[in-house]
């Protein structure tokens, strides 16, 4: 269960990073 939580945490961070990159891309256009 603990490793499951860690995996989800990493997934969420990855999604957040992708979203942030996409937003910064849109702003710099």
Give pLDDT tens digits for 2-26: 677 788 888 999 999 999 999 999 9
* pLDDT of 1 above 70: no
Each domain of the chain, given as residue ranges in start order, spans 1-29
pLDDT of residue 16: 96
Residue-wise DSSP of 3-23: HHHHHHHHHHHHHHHHHHHHH
Report pLDDT for 29: 81
Residue 23: the pLDDT is 95
The answer to pTM > 0.75 is no
Cα atoms in the 13 Å half-sphere on the side-chain side of 20: 6
Retrieve residue 22's tokens. Answer: 């996409």
Structure tokens of 3? Answer: 């490793």
Provide the pLDDT for residue 4: 73
């Amino acid at each position: 269960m603990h490793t499951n939580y860690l995996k989800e945490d990493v997934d969420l961070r990855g999604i957040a990073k992708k979203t942030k990159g996409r937003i910064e891309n849109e702003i710099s256009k």
